[in-house]
Structure 1
Amino acid sequence: MAFLPAAGGRLGWARGALGALIGIAVAGVLTRFLAQAGLPGMASPGLPWLVAPLGAAAVLVFAVPASPLAQPWPVIGGNLISAAVGLAAGHWIAAPWLAASLGVGCAIALMAMARCLHPPGGACALLCALGAGANGWGWSFLLMPLAPNVLALAASGWLYNRLTGHPWPHHPAPPPVLPRDTWAGTYDIADLDAVLADWDEVLDIDREDLDALFRALERRVQARWESARQ
């Protein structure tokens, strides 16, 4: 049975685990402070300091920060948009199963159109649809605890990833310059686009990262061949 390698290499799991620990802790402490400070609009009795979808978001932000699904706009926009959709569905539709179903489906559609697709957003929509219907959660849920949770996690992700050598937002590495008149690098970016269109699948990697990976691989193979001929 084949097992997937640990994300990020030999110690990538440790970097991601520590980052998630820090990010969740910062989000919890900040949200608790705001809840207890008595600021206008920040008092939300009965609501948790942390919401469950934040754990899934932390996995993406700290363990796979290069993923298109883990970038700042998907983290912030995906969660807040989905939560708003879920709350609306929970308030407008009496049947919990129908509210949750429509909430998650509509959240995915809106996230895709807003270019902020984020898997934990689906959990946010589901949570808010059920919370609005069963517990009467109002729109203040977006302000407390969701917004402080999400913004604190994003800020922690930005700082921690930069300090550990993974700039966030992620910027694809520039493809290496290849010599002319060689087999390496003979494909054009349009060829890559055509293959992606043929596959018709949403891949969890940027097109630019794919191109940089292929170019670097070709350059490495070419260097090995040139070394063998010498």
Structure 2
Amino acid sequence: MTMPHHHGATPATMPWTGRLGALRGAIGAGLAIALTGLVTHLAVGADPAVPWLVASMGASAVLAFVLPASPLAQPWPVIGSHVMAAAIGLTCHMLPLAPWLGAGLAVFAAIAAMSLLRCLHPPAGGTAVLLALATPAVAAQGWHFLIMPLGLNVVLLTLLALVYNRLTGHAYPHRPPKAVMLPALAGSYTLDDLDTVLEGWDEVLSIDRDELDALFRAVESRVAARS
């Protein structure tokens, strides 16, 4: 009887269990959000008007625990994006703008800043909106919000992602496997070939160029071994 083959490397074909399964990531994300919320709540205090868990942490947990190899899920994007987006959102909140305009400006500026600083992380767009539309309690905290609760939230979440992913067999921060350079093969490509294809692909792929290279070299190795 042929066992089903799971292509666990893509979200669309991710199995439910196992090292690459969705259950592993779901458990880790749930535990991390609970612990992050608990620690931050204890640090912030019992004032119900002061938020202790930023909602966009839930979206960050999906990336950091379910897709830890994604360039969007690495520590610098997680931490840098949220802090920067919060600062931008709070700045937009302070400007004399209509709320809808301030929110749009905050998202625009956050994406531009994340792209320039190579820390693109989609959940931070939510942080920018949250601060641009800050409640009176959040606005009263001002820049302190970037440290508490936001700063503590992102640092705790990232540390928990590092520990949990490594305990469950995933390198985090992720490093692409070293590409195996084979002797000249018929049809083998060079890095210039890969760069040229990427330039003409007309899409931004959620995978590092070095990761692509390592993947393609591994396929070439398998083909060569079969020949």
TM-score by length of structure 1 reads: 0.87
Q: Provide the rounded CA distance (Å) in 2 between the counterparts of 1:194 and 1:44.
A: 56
**1:133-176, CA deviations, whole angstroms, 9 ceiling, x for partnerless residues?**
89634222112211111110000011111111111110000122
Shift of 1:44: 7.0
Equivalent residue for 1:209, pick from 208, 211, 225: 211
Q: Provide the rounded CA distance (Å) in 2 between the counterparts of 1:44 and 1:142.
A: 18
Greater mean deviation of Cα atoms: 135-144 or 199-208: 135-144
Shift of 1:8: 8.4
Shift of 1:187: 0.6
Say if 1:93 and 1:224 are closer, same or farther in 2 by CA, change over 3 A: farther
Which segments of 5 or more consecutive residues in structure 1 lack a partner in the other structure?
37-42, 226-230
Say if 1:115 and 1:9 are closer, same or farther in 2 by CA, change over 3 A: farther
Greater mean deviation of Cα atoms: 55-64 or 21-30: 21-30
Shift of 1:4: 2.0
Equivalent residue for 1:75, pick from 73, 78, 97: 78
Aligned to 2:22: 13
Shift of 1:181: 4.0
Q: Provide the rounded CA distance (Å) in 1 between the counterparts of 2:136 and 2:43.
A: 26
Shift of 1:82: 0.4
Aligned to 2:4: none
Q: Provide the rounded CA distance (Å) in 2 between the counterparts of 1:68 and 1:8.
A: 23
Structure 1 residue 26 corresponds to structure 2 residue 28: no
Kindly report the root-mean-square deviation, in angstroms, between the aligned alpha carbons of the 2 structures. 2.1
Shift of 1:67: 0.6
What amino acid is the match of 1:218? E
Q: Provide the rounded CA distance (Å) in 2 between the counterparts of 1:174 and 1:120.
A: 30
TM-score by length of structure 2 reads: 0.88
Aligned length: 215
Shift of 1:45: 6.0
Shift of 1:200: 3.5
Aligned to 2:148, the other structure's residue is in SS state helix
Q: Provide the rounded CA distance (Å) in 2 between the counterparts of 1:102 and 1:7.
A: 39
Aligned to 2:61: 58
Which segments of 5 or more consecutive residues in structure 2 lack a partner in the other structure?
1-10
